[in-house]
Amino acid sequence: MDFAVAPKMQDLLGRVRSFVQTELYPLESVFLLEGFERAEPVLREMRHKVREMGLFTPQIEQKYGGLGLSVLEHGLVSAELGKSPVGHYCFNCQAPDSGNMEILIKYGNQEQQEQYLKPLAAGDIRSCFSMTEPDFPGSNPTWMGTTAVKDGSDYVINGKKWFTSSAEGAAFAVVMAVTDPAAPKHLRASQILVPTGTPGFTITAKTPCMGHRGEGWATHCEVSYENCRVPQSNLLGPEGAGFVIAQERLGPGRIHHCMRWIGICERAFDLMCERAIKREVAPDRPLAIQEFVQGWIAESRAEINAARLMVLQAAWTIDQHSAKDARDEISLIKFFVANVMMKVLDRAIQVHGGLGITDYTPLAFWFRNERAGRIYDGPDEVHKIAVAKRILMRYHQELGAAAGA
Amino acid sequence: MDFAVAPKMQDLLGRVRSFVQTELYPLESVFLLEGFERAEPVLREMRHKVREMGLFTPQIEQKYGGLGLSVLEHGLVSAELGKSPVGHYCFNCQAPDSGNMEILIKYGNQEQQEQYLKPLAAGDIRSCFSMTEPDFPGSNPTWMGTTAVKDGSDYVINGKKWFTSSAEGAAFAVVMAVTDPAAPKHLRASQILVPTGTPGFTITAKTPCMGHRGEGWATHCEVSYENCRVPQSNLLGPEGAGFVIAQERLGPGRIHHCMRWIGICERAFDLMCERAIKREVAPDRPLAIQEFVQGWIAESRAEINAARLMVLQAAWTIDQHSAKDARDEISLIKFFVANVMMKVLDRAIQVHGGLGITDYTPLAFWFRNERAGRIYDGPDEVHKIAVAKRILMRYHQELGAAAGA
Amino acid sequence: MDFAVAPKMQDLLGRVRSFVQTELYPLESVFLLEGFERAEPVLREMRHKVREMGLFTPQIEQKYGGLGLSVLEHGLVSAELGKSPVGHYCFNCQAPDSGNMEILIKYGNQEQQEQYLKPLAAGDIRSCFSMTEPDFPGSNPTWMGTTAVKDGSDYVINGKKWFTSSAEGAAFAVVMAVTDPAAPKHLRASQILVPTGTPGFTITAKTPCMGHRGEGWATHCEVSYENCRVPQSNLLGPEGAGFVIAQERLGPGRIHHCMRWIGICERAFDLMCERAIKREVAPDRPLAIQEFVQGWIAESRAEINAARLMVLQAAWTIDQHSAKDARDEISLIKFFVANVMMKVLDRAIQVHGGLGITDYTPLAFWFRNERAGRIYDGPDEVHKIAVAKRILMRYHQELGAAAGA
Amino acid sequence: MDFAVAPKMQDLLGRVRSFVQTELYPLESVFLLEGFERAEPVLREMRHKVREMGLFTPQIEQKYGGLGLSVLEHGLVSAELGKSPVGHYCFNCQAPDSGNMEILIKYGNQEQQEQYLKPLAAGDIRSCFSMTEPDFPGSNPTWMGTTAVKDGSDYVINGKKWFTSSAEGAAFAVVMAVTDPAAPKHLRASQILVPTGTPGFTITAKTPCMGHRGEGWATHCEVSYENCRVPQSNLLGPEGAGFVIAQERLGPGRIHHCMRWIGICERAFDLMCERAIKREVAPDRPLAIQEFVQGWIAESRAEINAARLMVLQAAWTIDQHSAKDARDEISLIKFFVANVMMKVLDRAIQVHGGLGITDYTPLAFWFRNERAGRIYDGPDEVHKIAVAKRILMRYHQELGAAAGA
């Protein structure tokens, strides 16, 4: 075992860390106080700078324009980017685009890669992923109402989606729709590429979430598909593979969220410690001398270290073996890290007192917006049940084997 | 001991409950999705209806226009009003006005009551309380920078405040300012009535909190006092009594918050149970059959019952004895109930899944805005330390007495 | 509502409190360090004193030799007795005898009351309750293996029980056995009185629990019933009523445990505060000045107050209405209070440092022995599920009614 | 970074795991039900077997008779041994002997190593460490009452110690005593080797802990030193180095405890999963299908993984750098892992129901005896404060540097 980060990576991480602190921290207030739309011009500038530094879209292979980082390496980078609410966006490895790039790389044919992946990886367009439906549980991806029916050489798509995040301003959506209702439930749906300009594709609402409808990338849209017609060549991967592709997208997607959350934890930890030193509750009595605060700092440090090691080990397992071999680890970090993050944010806010609930720090933004992390891509409970069942199955087999022996 | 609610109160509670559900629940979405300004006309209508029902400003004595409810009785009413984010506002018992009414009743002279209390109790004007300062810890009310210096027959006030909630649109502020810097620290400050139109009184910013700057009543303002001059007759209570009055204001203020939080808990509990029954995770498999959900329901019910009984006992102690005799109880509920509320809200959101983070229910509003309840009027930790010290002092005396015997 | 304890009760509580502190605290060390057998002579003396004070068996009606306290009143007394590990035993209201008295009062015929209840209430004999079986889940009282088959005028009982607590030295057992395997599952079993001298009744082991097999009253016995023959007149209540009687026994039994746990909490709280004052971590630096310790004291005080009020309200509901009406409350306190107790004990131990894990205080005894409180008479989870299902059923009906309206 | 365990170690771990399961699990019941004295003959046999396998005292260098495992390697082995309450004892790496071996290796002169270390490493004798005093806080090792005064060529030791664990049957004690009361507080005390047969060395009591006084190795003794005279050549290391040596002993001692706790967690996890599969709560309804149980399994798995990675990283840091460089990590795992262990044990007990509180599994033994792990070698709170202060100091320096720049 070796817990050392390779020197090459340390160098890269140093560059990223420095950029995030020097360039991104100062512009956060625009994003936090004025919203995505007002921040977009300066974010575009930053994306340009990152591209010039050769660090754009670092998570994908060099032949697609990235740095070809391993999952573990991207995890380390991501933990730096996550320190700022705009970090991933500026490096073009933000959800939902990064997930869409991954499935286009794996399942897209050459034409699809040319048309959709290339501009996405270059940061020229944005995209969205249209799976969850308001009338069906997001935690059960085998049960949905949207259909895609073949008509001539086209699919005709009908249905309602929500939490199609970032749909406003996106060039295309990857839509999950039932193509064969009679098939076994894991084979009913397919993934289809739908340019957002297609007639019948309508953003019916930007769902107000935690107080905001948001703009552009920072939206959660409700989308209506009404006789929305696209050529069958827009099918991504095999027909019926919608569930499988969704899982493959979500697996690494979950670890990507976890990596980002480590960054959030670290920034919250920084802010908490700095505030504890600077804020006096009486002359020459900084918060830092209070045992309550010291307790939170120690507990947070322990939990963040734990979270970080678990995420890196899961990433390492994917790199060395496969995402499937890391299934348990991914489920475990999905709920463990999300909960650590919420606890650390909560403590950091408490240390900040009134300032903690203002938008003068990113803490309040994360507190309200990252709460969703315990829900999307499988709520805590779904992952707990899933991993427990697999573990119990293995004990069951061992006990059976022992009994049979 | 008797845990029964008197029939007269049951009748009153029934009327309030029915009004809140029938009249207020349907208009919450305007408030949640469009904000206070857009909701104000319909809220004004509701205040009118409540006044006609004879239930307006129920917490104050009849001679001031209220119902003369005891603290315990108001606690019961408040737990009904708290079920809606606009409940207290519609009944004119919302912070910060209710606290200002209380100190005007106790410390205001006849003229001050005529000029400020009367229209406030009638719901014709709003007010604010200007104590916390950005450069000094809110948790230490003996340390502040704002001063009021006598000049002729006036006070000249200078300083910076923030979290002067509801200042936008308020007719007057109660300002806490140092009148005698050389006095012992608990006698340095005084409370002064300042009409918001007074030259030198400026709202310099509406602090963005949890994503919003808000409007009108729903603001947290930063206020600059710059040579702000008011007659010395605007002094509320004796000079040097600022700290004492603040404590007297905050004591019941804390219990009022707790009562309101019980209402929030109950509504969140209702929403959680209803969602658990209605939402299916697979055909004919509602969330209600999941043990995780059942566990949250049982734990929430236990904690809300606990919180409710503790709040009512504290109110009863104030009624039967005094606020001072209930000091421990008030400190205990301040942190206990606030934490129960956050836990219940968190669970209710989790049961709602994606819907929980939208503003289609009041859960997300409360989740982000009531987090402040663990900070204002004394953070959790300040209350824990205060109550523990008093308890330990009593044991110390007992041990000393035993040792001396 | 009225939270005041009646003067008459205050007087009684004062006498009990004083007795427990003066007489029982000093003899705890014998019980804690030497065990029940060595402590029994002095405990017998104490029981004699309590009888002379007229406070023996206070929980039952005067005609059976008790004080006829209401459930609420007994709750208050019990919270005093619980402060000492030997309190209830010395007042003859200890489990399992108190529960057996209750069902003998309710279901015993005159002859049974004469033979079993009378000496039990007088403290002349002890008894046990034989329900749980090692091969069947204690949490499911409708599924058991022990049978009682009619043969002539007798029942012939066969089966294996464990956690027949206090069987060693008991004069009789109340045994739950299947009398009609073909009946609906809640009507299969009956309760039968079995003198422990009956041939076929054998204590096969004293189960080692938390390090001890114990002696006499302080045992958890494994009992074998092997062709154990008793007259059918030993049937307690109607045949097939075993489940119903068990539930009636356990309902109040649960509240009795909760009342006792409040006493444990209060004693642990006393010990924690006293230790915090007396123990210095450096010269003139007592533990009491540490915020961690202050936090535990405040949190414990809040939780104990919460637990106490909930238990008293449940008791009041039983007194005013019925045990059935208090079903939810009883389930809620069963898990809530048990968990509060374990938390308070844990904190008190931590404040004591090394001393906390020794048997020089009762904390370590309670820490290991009261852990069972979260398991017996229905584990936490069983109560959570039960109460949640009843709550959800009520919401379901309301929603149905609303939908139908 | 590399999370793989080297093949050589995997082989060793496999042998240890197999031995523990095959040889040690079956004899646990003797130890758990009858105590150390009764188990000692069979434990002696096992120690013989381990010696023959070449695995005895694996943690020390080969020249002293061990395997020369690195800290990380010993951590992996220790996590296997910890699965059984007698694992470490059988491999001769149990506290307090392992710690005494370490300081004898580092500070013992040749004669001392010959006389004390050699037989200790060979498992021929046992030893104890005599530091904590009943009248002084164990958490403050600079404040103690025991003195060692020079008289001729001897030290004359006077004082009272407790928690001198394993003193019964030990051949010698390492005693910490004040040799220069006038020195700065970290230089006042020294470590002295005292054969237990020395006149004036008396075990005055075996402290009853969690219900037991124990025997032999399994004791916590109170020791009186009354004019206890040993030659000055028994001084271990330099005079005045008592505090430093104690810290050096406790640092790795803490990580050794953590490693052992991981083993306890894993065994508890095994038992929990196996019980969940085997125990039915109704016909064909095993506990394993309950979501509550699944939740505990998933949470435990996450927390154990976290704990394990953190412990291994701390060990790795010691190996690669030094114990001093791992100070933060050691403090963090000391409280984090101890708390994880208690949580996992608690859940495992709950899954076992009544069986969980019996001594038919090791769970109840660990539940009561490992509670001390949150107290000894620095209570949770002492480590939290220590690590937080170091972290805050670093932020303080950064902020100062930034301000100065």
Nearest Cβ partner of C395 from B274, B385, B399? B274
Closest chain A C-alpha to C134 CA, distance in angstroms:
21
Closest chain B C-alpha to C131 CA, distance in angstroms:
27
- Say if residues A244 and A176 touch (Cβ distance below 8 Å): no
Q: Which string of DSSP letters, residue by residue, matches D228-287?
A: EEEEGGGEESSTT-HHHHHHHHHHHHHHHHHHHHHHHHHHHHHHHHHHHHH-EEETTEEG
Total residue length of chain D: 405
Q: What is the mean pLDDT of residues B50-69?
A: 95
Whether omega before B96 lies within 30 degrees of 0, making that bond cis, reads yes
Q: How many C-beta neighbours within 10 Å does residue A112 have? A: 18
Confidence of residue D320 (pLDDT cuts 50, 70, 90): very high
pLDDT tens track for A28-79: 999 999 999 999 999 999 999 999 999 999 999 999 999 999 999 999 999 9
How far is Cα of residue D199 from the mean position of the Cα atoms in its chain?
A: 29
* Partners of residue B165 on adjacent β-strands: B220
- Say if residues C240 and C188 touch (Cβ distance below 8 Å): yes
Chain B CB contacts of A356 below 8 Å: 375
How far apart are the C-alpha atoms of D5 and B117, rounded to whole Å? Answer: 75
Chains that touch D (3 or more CB pairs under 8 A): A, B, C
Nearest to C75 by CA among C255, C224, C218, C227: C255
Q: What is the mean pLDDT of residues B23-41?
A: 97
> What integer pLDDT is reported at residue A307 of this predicted model?
98
Mean pLDDT estimate for chain B: 96
For chain A, say whether B365 makes contact (Cβ under 8 Å).
yes
Any residues with CB less than 8 A from the CB of A74 and at least 6 apart, and which?
A58, A59, A93, A256, A259, A315
For chain B, say whether D281 makes contact (Cβ under 8 Å).
no
Nearest Cβ partner of A5 from D1, D4, D389? D1
Chain D CB contacts of A392 below 8 Å: 273, 276-277, 288, 294, 297
Nearest Cβ partner of C291 from B277, B320, B385? B385
For chain C, say whether B336 makes contact (Cβ under 8 Å).
yes
Q: Where are the alpha helices (DSSP H) in A60-191?
A: 71-81, 87-90, 97-107, 110-112, 118-121
* Partners of residue C209 on adjacent β-strands: C212, D358
Closest chain B C-alpha to C269 CA, distance in angstroms:
11
User: In chain A, whose CA is at the least distance from the CA of B29?
Assistant: A208
Amino acid occupying residue D367 = F
pLDDT tens track for B326-346: 999 999 999 999 999 999 999
Any residues with CB less than 8 A from the CB of C325 and at least 6 apart, and which?
C317, C318
Domain ranges of chain B: 7-121, 127-236, 244-404
How far apart are the C-alpha atoms of D268 and D304, rounded to whole Å? Answer: 11
Whether omega before A286 lies within 30 degrees of 0, making that bond cis, reads no
Residues 39-78 of C with CB under 8 A from B: 72
How far apart are the C-alpha atoms of D197 and D203, rounded to whole Å? Answer: 11
Q: What is the CATH number of domain C246-404?
A: 1.20.140.10
> What integer pLDDT is reported at residue D335 of this predicted model?
98
pLDDT tens track for B121-177: 999 999 999 999 999 988 788 899 999 999 999 999 999 999 999 999 999 999 999
Predicted ipTM > 0.95: yes
- Say if residues C126 and C89 touch (Cβ distance below 8 Å): no
Q: What is the CATH number of domain B7-121?
A: 1.10.540.10
Model confidence, pTM: 0.97
CATH 2.40.110.10 fits domain C127-236: yes
How far apart are the C-alpha atoms of C361 and C348, rounded to whole Å? Answer: 10
Chains that touch B (3 or more CB pairs under 8 A): A, C, D
How far apart are the C-alpha atoms of D337 and D398, rounded to whole Å? Answer: 30
Chains that touch A (3 or more CB pairs under 8 A): B, C, D
User: In chain D, whose CA is at the least distance from the CA of A7?
Assistant: D1
> What integer pLDDT is reported at residue A287 of this predicted model?
96
Q: What is the mean pLDDT of residues A112-131?
A: 97
pLDDT above 60: residue A264: yes
Closest chain A C-alpha to D182 CA, distance in angstroms:
30
Say which CATH class D244-404 falls into: mainly alpha
For chain C, say whether B399 makes contact (Cβ under 8 Å).
yes
Nearest Cβ partner of D399 from A2, A72, A274? A274
Chain A CB contacts of C290 below 8 Å: 291
Q: How many C-beta neighbours within 10 Å does residue D311 have? A: 30
Nearest Cβ partner of A354 from B32, B132, B283? B132
Nearest to D174 by CA among D164, D188, D163: D164
- Say if residues C163 and C206 touch (Cβ distance below 8 Å): no
* Mutate which: A215, A376, A381, vs B, most B CBs within 10 A: A381
Closest chain B C-alpha to A375 CA, distance in angstroms:
6
pLDDT above 80: residue B404: no
Q: Whole-angstrom distance between the N-terminal and C-terminal Cα of chain B?
A: 35
Backbone angles phi, psi at A286, to 5 degrees: -70, 155
Please judge whether A297 and D391 are an interchain contact, meaning their C-beta atoms are less than 8 angstroms apart. yes
pLDDT above 60: residue B30: yes
Q: Which string of DSSP letters, residue by residue, matches D302-352?
A: HHHHHHHHHHHHHHHHHHHT-TTTTHHHHHHHHHHHHHHHHHHHHHHHHHH
Please judge whether C383 and B316 are an interchain contact, meaning their C-beta atoms are less than 8 angstroms apart. no
Please judge whether C137 and D374 are an interchain contact, meaning their C-beta atoms are less than 8 angstroms apart. no
Chain C CB contacts of A292 below 8 Å: 291-292, 295
Chain C CB contacts of D32 below 8 Å: 208
- Say if residues B119 and B101 touch (Cβ distance below 8 Å): no
Chain A / chain C CB contacts < 8 angstroms? 8
How far apart are the C-alpha atoms of B56 and B52, rounded to whole Å? Answer: 8
Element (H, E) at A249: helix A242-278
| Choice among A272-276, B200-204, D282-286 with the minimum mean pLDDT | D282-286
* Partners of residue B229 on adjacent β-strands: B156
How far apart are the C-alpha atoms of A51 and B261, rounded to whole Å? Answer: 50
pLDDT above 70: residue B405: no
How far apart are the C-alpha atoms of C337 and C301, rounded to whole Å? Answer: 13
For chain D, say whether B360 makes contact (Cβ under 8 Å).
no
pLDDT above 70: residue D405: no
Chain D CB contacts of C212 below 8 Å: 211
Supply C381's token pair.
């989870």
For chain A, say whether B215 makes contact (Cβ under 8 Å).
no
Nearest to B96 by CA among B122, B120, B118, B114: B120
For chain B, say whether C344 makes contact (Cβ under 8 Å).
no
> What integer pLDDT is reported at residue C405 of this predicted model?
57
Please judge whether C292 and A290 are an interchain contact, meaning their C-beta atoms are less than 8 angstroms apart. no
Q: Are strands B154-165 and B201-206 parallel, antiparallel or unpaired?
A: unpaired
pLDDT above 80: residue A404: no
How far apart are the C-alpha atoms of C72 and C75, rounded to whole Å? Answer: 5
- Low-confidence residues in chain C, pLDDT < 50: none
* Mutate which: A278, A358, A365, A369, vs B, most B CBs within 10 A: A358
3-state SS class at C4: coil
For chain D, say whether C276 makes contact (Cβ under 8 Å).
no
Supply A292's token pair.
């309550």
Chain D CB contacts of A389 below 8 Å: 294
* Mutate which: C339, C395, C398, vs B, most B CBs within 10 A: C395
For chain A, say whether C350 makes contact (Cβ under 8 Å).
no
Please judge whether A210 and B211 are an interchain contact, meaning their C-beta atoms are less than 8 angstroms apart. yes
Q: What is the mean pLDDT of residues B282-311?
A: 97
How far is Cα of residue D373 from the mean position of the Cα atoms in its chain?
A: 9
> What integer pLDDT is reported at residue B248 of this predicted model?
86
Please judge whether A140 and B281 are an interchain contact, meaning their C-beta atoms are less than 8 angstroms apart. yes
Nearest Cβ partner of D3 from A306, A316, A387? A316
> What integer pLDDT is reported at residue C163 of this predicted model?
97
For chain C, say whether A350 makes contact (Cβ under 8 Å).
no
Closest chain A C-alpha to C287 CA, distance in angstroms:
12
Chain D CB contacts of A299 below 8 Å: 384
Supply B13's token pair.
């509670």
For chain A, say whether D399 makes contact (Cβ under 8 Å).
yes
- Rg of chain C over all Cα atoms, to the nearest angstrom: 22
Any residues with CB less than 8 A from the CB of A125 and at least 6 apart, and which?
A119, A170, A171, A172
Backbone angles phi, psi at A19, to 5 degrees: -60, -45
Mean pLDDT estimate for chain A: 96
Mean pLDDT estimate for chain D: 96
Please judge whether A138 and B381 are an interchain contact, meaning their C-beta atoms are less than 8 angstroms apart. no
Domains A127-236 and A244-404 are alike in CATH topology: no
* Mutate which: D215, D291, D335, D371, vs C, most C CBs within 10 A: D371
Nearest Cβ partner of D137 from C209, C353, C357? C353
Please judge whether D354 and C163 are an interchain contact, meaning their C-beta atoms are less than 8 angstroms apart. yes
Residues 289-328 of C with CB under 8 A from A: 290-292, 295
Chain D CB contacts of B295 below 8 Å: 292
> What integer pLDDT is reported at residue B364 of this predicted model?
98
